[in-house]
Amino acid sequence: MGKQVTRIPATISQLTRAPINTQAKRKVAAYARVSTDQEEQLTSYEAQVDYYTNYIQSREDWEFVSVFTDEGISGTSTRKREGFQRMVTEALDGNIDLIVTKSVSRFARNTVDSLSTIRQLKEHGTEVYFEKENIWTFDSKGELLITIMSSLAQEESRSISENVTWGHRKRMADGKVSVAYSRFIGYDKGEDGNLVVNPEEAKTIKLIFGEFITGLSYHAIAEKLTELGIKTPGGKDKWSQSTVKSILQNEKYAGNALLQKTYTADFLTKKQVTNHGEVPQYFVEDNHESIIDPALFDRVQDMIKERSNKKGYSGVTIFSSRIRCGCCGAWYGSKVWHSTDKYRRVIWQCNSKFKDKTRCRTPHLTEDEIKAAFLQVVNSLITDRKEVLTELRTVRDMLTGTEDLEKEQKKLAEQMNVDADAVQEIISENARVAQDQEEYTIRYDALVSRFETTKAEYEKVTSDIAAKGIRRRELERFIQSVEKLPEMVTEFDEALWGSLVDHLTINAKDDIVFTLTSGMEINA
């Protein structure tokens, strides 16, 4: 006996989700986007909004919801497009049945974003219509076409990104400097497009460098700037130590510019990563007027390196990590006596004074006593200035010369290249010609060992050259500071303290030894 099949017709519209015998209208929205904020693009943007508003409202079977828009935003990712995200949320909430947009590239240039969003909308009963390509996503061919068109759009984005990147790098190679002025203090954009000093903001930069020279830490400087009510480069009230450090290390304040410190690793995410040598960098000297003297900038860079090597360095005040106990070798720290009455005063004493049963014998000192001792040392330098300068210049020339080391460095570099080429050669030879692998391994190990030995020697010599360079610059700065001293110093000067004193060792009240940045030791 044959089967009887009765067809039951569909009575609900797949498009409106309403009975087919009703006049329910589809709730329709449009999406418009332009990828730059240039004037001609904004005109295109306004035209899109006007067009889709009139287009949707002209259809009797459509109910106008809204035109969702994004201005000046790249299409390679949907994550930062607020208008797009708002539209998707509305659709998922059941408030939109159909989204009309100009083209696949306007919707998303990222294949994954495009398909995942379309599928998500489809699951919730929302169709997308791409006018230029005439694609309806509920159509059976829709997803295949979307995949193809999104891939083409993504490749177009890649091409555009590569062209833009090439343009940026060409400008860098030509020495053209550009910064994000809205988040960069100290300079404004000049008429020629280059950096021009902003006198008011330059005061903040000079203050930061000046406080660092006296011995303050990044954190202490950040707190001081916050207390003074100075705005950060981003316009915030609270400074962070990372912001202070980045300013201290920014070569633009010395009038130079290092270009391409970061680069875009992925054209889809637009993520910027630090350039560790993956792409070229360009250093432009004397590009613009400096705020910080280049010699002072170099000194700060040396101090940053020195502090990073000092275990437990503290820069809360200008005396932190500058006063050492002659008994146990620990640093002095500040203590407040009589903090709540009129006898309040700040004293400095050994941080380890009460840690062991055997107390350190070294005395505490007030800040006034430290300042008085410093003035005594400075004036003794002035008294013997001629002899001191002669001795320092002799020490500088004898101990910081690098001519022989540079010759050795060049010789080792050449040998290293020869060894590296030899290693590459036997690897290539082994790949081309069948060899005794035991013999090959012996040759390979011997060459690699020689290369590594030469490399280690090269790195040691390079390190010695760098250390002597730092030492020479420190001596030259000290010599300049002594040359500029007046006939007598009567008041404590924080900048002078920062430029002359490395640390002082307390043995007794009347036995304080100042170790200066030149390496000299003077008893106060």
Amino acid at 108: A
Q: Span 474-482, mean pLDDT?
A: 89
**Stretch 401-409: mean pLDDT:** 91
Establish how many alpha carbons lie within 13 A of residue 109's alpha carbon, considering only the half-sphere containing its beta carbon. Answer: 24
pLDDT at 150 over 80: no
Q: How far apart are CA 165 and CA 179, in angstroms?
A: 16
> What's the average model confidence in pLDDT over 142-157?
61
Return the beta strands (E) in 216-326 as ranges. Answer: 257-259, 262-264, 272-274, 282-284, 323-325
Average pLDDT, the chain: 81
In the predicted structure, residue 395 carries a pLDDT above the cut 60:
yes
Compute the average pLDDT of residues 439-468: 89
Please say whether the beta carbons of 504 and 512 come within 8 A.
yes
Q: Give the model's pLDDT for residue 176.
A: 66
Give the pairing type, strands 272-274 and 262-264: antiparallel
Which is nearest to 512 in space by CA: 376, 319, 413, 309? Answer: 376
Task: Report which secondary-structure segment, H or E, holds 106.
Answer: helix 104-107
DSSP strand pairing (521-523 vs 511-516): antiparallel
For 110-133, what is the mean pLDDT? 80
**pLDDT surpasses 90 at 342:** no
If you average pLDDT over residues 88-101, what whole number do you get?
92
CATH fold label, 181-309: Hect, E3 ligase catalytic domain fold (3.90.1750)
Choose among 186, 199, 98: nearest CA to 139. Answer: 98
Q: 3-state SS of 313-347?
A: CCCCCCCCCCEEECCCCCEEEEEEECCCCCCCEEE
- Name the E strands within 340-492: 345-350, 365-366
What's residue 75's pLDDT? 45
Predicted confidence band of residue 296 (pLDDT cuts 50, 70, 90): confident
- Whether pTM exceeds 0.85: no
The C-alpha angle with vertex 318 and arms to 237 and 368, in degrees rounded to 5, equals 125
- Model confidence pLDDT, tens digit, residues 421-434: 888 888 888 777 77
- The arithmetic mean of pLDDT across residues 315-344, rounded, is 85
Write down the residue that tokens 């404004």 correspond to: 188
Does position 372 have pLDDT exceeding 60, yes or no? yes
Q: Is 464 exposed, middle or buried (0-12, 13-18, 19+ CB in 10 A)?
A: middle
Q: Using alpha carbons only, how large is the chain's radius of gyration in Å?
A: 35
Low-confidence winner among 20-24, 139-143, 446-450 (lowest mean pLDDT): 20-24
pLDDT category, 376, cuts 50, 70, 90?
Answer: very high
pLDDT value, residue 267: 45
Per-residue pLDDT at 152: 59
Q: Which of 186, 311, 172, 308 is nearest to 255 (CA)?
A: 186
Distance, CA of 272 to CA of 261 (rounded, Å): 10
Section 451-461 average pLDDT: 91
411, pLDDT greater than 90: yes
Mean pLDDT of 335-351: 83
Report the DSSP beta bridge partners of residue 188: 196
Q: SS3 of 283, please? A: strand
Model confidence at 169: pLDDT above 70: no
Select the more confidently predicted residue: 269 or 298.
Answer: 298
Average pLDDT over residues 123-148: 78
In order of 39, 45, 99, 113, 131, the CA distances from 102 in angstroms are 20, 11, 10, 17, 5
Residue 228 CA to residue 216 CA, distance in Å, equals: 16
Question: In the CATH hierarchy, which top-level class contains the domain 26-161?
Answer: alpha beta
Whether the Cβ atoms of residue 300 and residue 291 lie closer than 8 Å to each other: no
Q: Which position has the token pair 């508003």?
A: 53
**pLDDT at residue 79 above 80?**
no
Q: Where are the domains of the chain?
A: 26-161, 181-309, 323-523
**Percent of the chain topping pLDDT 90:** 31
Which of the two residues, 147 and 65, has the higher pLDDT score?
A: 65
Residues 74-92: what's their mean pLDDT?
Answer: 75
Give the model confidence (pLDDT) of 194-236 as tens digits.
888 999 999 999 999 989 988 888 999 999 999 999 999 988 9
